[in-house]
Structure 1
Amino acid sequence: MNAHDDKPLAGARVATRLPAQDLDRARRFYSERLGLEPVDERPGGLLYSSGGGEFVLFASSGASPGTFTQMAFEVDDLDGVVAELKRRGVVFEEVDLPGLHTVNGIAEIDGNYPTKGARGERGAWFRDSEGNLLGLGEPVR
């Protein structure tokens, strides 16, 4: 980094970290339910790669509050992905809040997608085995 650079993180890679109280349980969930396998592992964590991004599950005695989306996957076919994950035993959150309502686990969100020229987003949420709230999103063009 140049000492005069006024954007020190502009070129940084985003690295999501999710806590896991039981790494073996989390590994089984991500493998059996989501079809993801670690690309690297250490005694205290598992590194996953998906669609050009990476995230880590790390051993933690703390638990996530699960009150907000901690990580999301952008998909091209939300209906198909939700159906397959349900078939694998993933339970989707049902939400009924002002401006956000799910039907069969999927919400239609107008004007809530800030990038990629989309006019909105379709979204769905579920919790992993550790209580982390994960999202799925599909831009609506």
Structure 2
Amino acid sequence: MNADDRNPLARARVVTRLPAQDLERARRFYSEQIGLEPVDERPGGLLYRSGGAEFVVFRSAGASPGTFTQMAWEVDDIDSVVSELRGRGVVFEEVELPALLGGGRTRDGIVEVEGNYPSTGARGARGAWFRDSEGNMLGIEAPVM
């Protein structure tokens, strides 16, 4: 028996939950600007599937501080994804990463992060961030091999 057999969370699915003060506004954002429709809807929440994973946008009285990445998509071609989303009205953040995170400043909405993804053999990553309609910070990243 290995350690994962004794730990129920080691076998559990991870599902991201994003707060929304206005669920209908969030639905419009994810539909019109991201191009995703909910696969299930319950009172107070919308379930989305993307790339084999799930995330939930739920009605909340609290608001996200939007100061850190709450969810990210890994893509093969970050330039085309950023271009497509910009065409849908998504506004990308201009950021300067601290040296602790590899440093770097966004150029046209995308930053190069050296040393990211060491477990995959990548030498770094390219990333971009934006906020959804509810202030949640979302990211797009692509490993640099």
**TM over 0.5, shorter chain:** yes
State how 1:38-77 maps to structure 2 within 5 Å.
Answer: 38-77=38-77
Q: 1:121 maps to what in 2?
A: 125
Task: Give the whole-Å Cα distance in 2 for the aligned partners of 1:44 and 1:114.
Answer: 38
Q: 2:20 maps to what in 1?
A: 20
Q: 1:111 maps to what in 2?
A: 115
Aligned-partner residue type, residue 138 of structure 1 = A
Task: Give the whole-Å Cα distance in 2 for the aligned partners of 1:18 and 1:140.
Answer: 28
Structure 2 gap ranges (5+): none
Aligned-partner residue type, residue 129 of structure 1 = S
Task: Give the whole-Å Cα distance in 2 for the aligned partners of 1:20 and 1:57.
Answer: 6
Task: Give the whole-Å Cα distance in 1 for the aligned partners of 2:111 and 2:81.
Answer: 14
Structure 1 gap ranges (5+): none
Say which SS state the counterpart of residue 84 (structure 1) adopts. Answer: helix
2:141 to 130, 134, 137: 137
Say which SS state the counterpart of residue 120 (structure 2) adopts. Answer: coil
CA RMSD of aligned residues (A): 1.3
Structure 1 segments of 4+ aligned residues over 4 angstroms from their partners: none
Distance 1:12 1:114, change over 3 A: farther
**TM-score scaled to structure 2, two decimals?**
0.91
Say which SS state the counterpart of residue 67 (structure 2) adopts. Answer: coil
User: Which structure carries more helix by proportion?
Assistant: 2
More displaced, 18-27 or 112-121?
A: 112-121
Q: What is the deviation of 1:116?
A: 2.2
Distance 1:121 1:97, change over 3 A: closer
Is 1:100 matched up with 2:143?
Answer: no
Q: 1:83 maps to what in 2?
A: 83
Task: Give the whole-Å Cα distance in 2 for the aligned partners of 1:5 and 1:139.
Answer: 31
Aligned length in residues = 138
